[in-house]
Amino acid sequence: MTNVSLEAGDWDYDEMIEDTKDGILMVTNYGWSIDQKRYNFQFNTEKGYIIKNGSVEQMVRGPAYSGITPEFWGSCDAVGNKKSWVLWGTPNCGKGQPQQVMITGHGAAPTRFRNVTVFGAQ
């Protein structure tokens, strides 16, 4: 898959954090697994930060999240504005047997999802 981007929304980054009562801000994606139908997935991050009552608190190591694609995207309730939108991501995507590799680019702003399965945070 190449050049997948999420359109900027209306939320200011700081306001999104302040509006979050309880959550984890996940950063530094480093691993993922997704089935061939792109239905079930899991993403791992290197670190995250606990959010309590609109305030970013302590750092945690290794938080991960998983879900079912349509349910996950249906739980999105906030997308950062153009000010916070960045082009980033892995420079390539590989899959299949034999291995197939394609150059990729991904753009997005900070995004909030509700009721996501989160695990592994230490």
pTM of the model: 0.80
What are the strands, taking DSSP E only, across 35-82? 40-52, 55-61, 64-68, 76-79
pLDDT tens for 37-62 read: 889 999 999 999 999 999 999 999 99
Rounded CA separation 104/2 (Å): 4
Under the banding of pLDDT at 50, 70 and 90, the label for residue 11 is very high
**Which segment of 31-35, 58-62, 116-120 scores lowest on mean pLDDT?**
31-35
